[in-house]
Amino acid sequence: MKYLSMAALALVGAVMTGCSNDDIVDIDQPGNDNVERLTVVANLGGSTTRSLTNEGVKTYAVGDKIAVVYKNNSGNTVKAESDALAAGDITGSGKSAKFTVTLVDADKNQNVTYIYPAYMAKENGSENYEALYNEQDGTLATLGKKFDYCTFTGAWNGDKLPTAELTNKLFVCEFTLKYSDASINDKVSAMTISVNATHNYYVNIDRTPSSDPIYVAIIPTASNNINYTAIADGKVYTKSVTNKTYDAGAMRPIHLNMEKNNDLLPGLFSVSASKKVYFAKGNLQLVDVNSWKFADNQWDYFGDTQADNHRDLFGWGTGNNPNQTSEDNNDYATFNDWGNNSNLQAQLGTGWRTLSNDEWHYLFKTRTVKDGTGAGHSYTLGQSVNGRLGVVIYPDGYTGTLYTGSDWSIFEAAGCVFLPAAGTRYGNKLDNTDKGYYWSSTPNYKFAFKAAYSVHISNQLYTENSPFPRKDGQSVRLVREVE
């Protein structure tokens, strides 16, 4: 395990020349000098700007690499990754290391940038922040190996690389999570951290159950408004904080007293390349005049007992008029997302919304989940939960077995979503009771009658891009976006 705390790094380049036009060749061959093998000696200073261990120790480890980002004589930005450190490259009790890197046709009139570790540099030389957002596992060892991001930019020293002091770029959170004054650290399997609705971190905890802190590196910003979500024992815990400033180069303990959110399911689902959501625990239901709730269980629906004060099949665009049973499509001309209903917000909280048609498509057909069987391997049709037919959707990163009709509680705790086939309503008449129809927020203007898109599931079929008359009563499953 490598413990990281980046300090001053002195980088000294000893340039040797090789032979070739564009190919890297043995450095002992004579020829032109557009290929250079440089030895970069990186020394850790005596003081540290950040400590990732109680002892404040940072040492190099076998396998470490550094990236050198430079301009070539054609004006292109190039990333050169050093050879991996061998044991003989590390000296001074781990405080000094010799990296060897190859540069091709370097323009020494342009600045050069060092990025350590090399994993944090993209091929175009920019920061690999996507790795921060998606690849952390909450452990100090992985954070130290891949994400303790430090950098320096400066001018060449003639033919030599400049001496440099690398600067820490990240803030490291040392989380202790509690619920009802009891630690839940040993139960946490995943976290999401959303900073100012701009930087979203998805952390899959991969460690032996432990009460040790959970370590997450984030990009520091001032006046942070942060939403934390933790999944522990199949339950969802949330916490929001405001006006927090986290400084680069620091690691601090963060103690959060979490609140259990019984309306959210624990699975995280991508609905676009940049958006992820949690699903509500069940379909939306109206149980009295302007009295809203989520079904107690994912498989629950009212069926043929629909009434003005007992409804879960809604016409499109009736977010603020749920009792409407008109069979005239013109009465459904304007969509008002159910999540924007003021009474619903007062009872179930803000932040709920309906997926768009494109988001349903991404959920079912675009994203890939390891063990599903549908398009994109993300869902299984024709499954029965508690005697109700429907579709099982597997969350991002799912690695469990496929659902085949038993032990649903295990699958639900793993984040799986079940959409029951609750049928459709035409006026007060129920139909298609062996199929499921779920509204999107997307209108359709291609037909003379007013239509909107919804998804359609049956025992053997899933379709989206399906326009239906807006007067049709269909199911609604709301989501909450990670933001």
CATH number of the domain within which 184 lies: 2.60.40.1120
- Assess whether 344 and 454 both reside in one domain: yes
State residue 92's pLDDT score: 78
Question: How far is 1 from 140, CA to CA, in rounded Å?
Answer: 8
Domain count, the chain: 3
- Assess whether 297 and 439 both reside in one domain: yes
Question: Is residue 113 within 8 Å of residue 103, measured between CB atoms?
Answer: no
* Ramachandran angles phi, psi of 356, nearest 5°: -80, 170
For the entire predicted model, the pTM comes to: 0.82
Reading the chain (483 residues) residue by residue, the pLDDT tens digits are: 333 333 333 333 322 222 223 332 233 333 445 898 887 776 665 433 333 444 435 677 889 898 999 999 999 999 999 999 999 998 877 777 888 899 999 999 999 998 988 999 999 999 999 999 999 999 888 887 888 788 889 999 888 888 777 778 888 899 999 999 999 999 999 999 999 888 999 999 877 667 788 999 999 888 778 999 999 988 999 999 998 888 887 888 999 999 999 999 999 999 999 899 999 999 999 998 889 999 999 999 999 999 888 999 999 876 666 667 888 888 887 788 888 888 899 999 999 999 999 999 999 999 989 777 787 789 999 999 999 999 999 999 888 889 999 899 999 999 999 999 999 999 888 999 899 999 999 998 877 678 899 999 988 778 877 889 999 999 999 999 986
Question: How far is 245 from 222, CA to CA, in rounded Å?
Answer: 5
How far CA 92 is from CA of 5, 62, 400, in Å, comes to 16, 14, 46
- Assess whether 83 and 42 both reside in one domain: yes
> Residue 2 domain-assigned?
no
State residue 165's pLDDT score: 75
Neighbours of 49 (CB within 10 A): 18
> Residue 180 domain-assigned?
yes
Which structure tokens are listed for 425?
A: 């309503």
In the chain, pLDDT over 70 holds for what percent of residues?
87
- Assess whether 131 and 147 both reside in one domain: yes
> Residue 271 domain-assigned?
no
Question: How far is 453 from 464, CA to CA, in rounded Å?
Answer: 7
State residue 448's pLDDT score: 63
State residue 17's pLDDT score: 25
Question: Is residue 332 within 8 Å of residue 470, measured between CB atoms?
Answer: yes
- Assess whether 14 and 32 both reside in one domain: yes
Which structure tokens are listed for 22?
A: 């564009």
> Residue 54 domain-assigned?
yes
State residue 318's pLDDT score: 67
- Assess whether 292 and 435 both reside in one domain: yes
Strand-pair partners of 42? 11, 97
> Residue 200 domain-assigned?
yes
State which residues form the domain around 382.
278-481
- Assess whether 205 and 124 both reside in one domain: no
Of 138, 167, 196, which closes a domain?
Answer: 167
In the chain, pLDDT over 90 holds for what percent of residues?
52
> Residue 139 domain-assigned?
yes
Which structure tokens are listed for 137?
A: 């596992």
Could you tell me whether strands 224-232 and 235-244 are parallel, antiparallel, or unpaired per DSSP bridges?
A: antiparallel
Closest CA to 475 of 428, 449, 438: 438
State residue 150's pLDDT score: 83
Which structure tokens are listed for 216?
A: 């997450």
Q: For residue 190, which amino acid is it?
A: A
Question: Is residue 310 within 8 Å of residue 326, measured between CB atoms?
Answer: no
Question: Is residue 237 within 8 Å of residue 258, measured between CB atoms?
Answer: yes
State residue 13's pLDDT score: 33
Of 141, 167, 193, which closes a domain?
Answer: 167
- Assess whether 244 and 282 both reside in one domain: no
- Assess whether 313 and 350 both reside in one domain: yes
CA atoms within 13 A on the CB side of 469: 16
* Ramachandran angles phi, psi of 33, nearest 5°: -115, 35
> Residue 267 domain-assigned?
no
Backbone φ/ψ region at 235: left (φ over 0), alpha (ψ -120 to 50), beta:
beta
> Residue 81 domain-assigned?
yes
Closest CA to 291 of 225, 332, 348, 246: 348
- Assess whether 249 and 375 both reside in one domain: no
> What is the SS3 string spanning the chain?
CCCCCCEEEEEEEEEEECCCCCCCCCCCCCCCCCEEEEEEEEEEEEEECCCCCCCCCCCCCCCCCCEEEEEECCCCEEEEECCCCCHHHEEHHHCEEEEEEEEECECCCCCEEEEECHHHECCCCCECHHHHHHCCCCCHHHHHHHHCCEEEEECCECCECCCCCCEECCEEEEEEEEECCEECHHHEEEEEEEECCCEEEEEECCCCCCCCCEEEEECCCCCEEEEEEEEECCEEEEEEEEEECCCCCEEEEEEEECEECCCECCCCEECCCCCEEEEECCCEEEEECCEEEECCCCCCCCHHHCECCEECCECCCCCCCCCCCCCCHHHHCCCCCHHHCHHHHHHHCCCEECCCHHHHHHHHHHCCCCCCCCHHHCEEEEEEECCEEEEEECCCCCCCCCCCCCCHHHHHHCCCEEEECCCEEECCEEECCCCEEEEEEEEECCCCCCEEEEEEECCCCEEEEEEEECCCEEECCCEEECC
- Assess whether 58 and 162 both reside in one domain: yes
- Assess whether 344 and 404 both reside in one domain: yes
Of 191, 226, 261, which closes a domain?
Answer: 261
State residue 264's pLDDT score: 96
Which structure tokens are listed for 270?
A: 């991508």
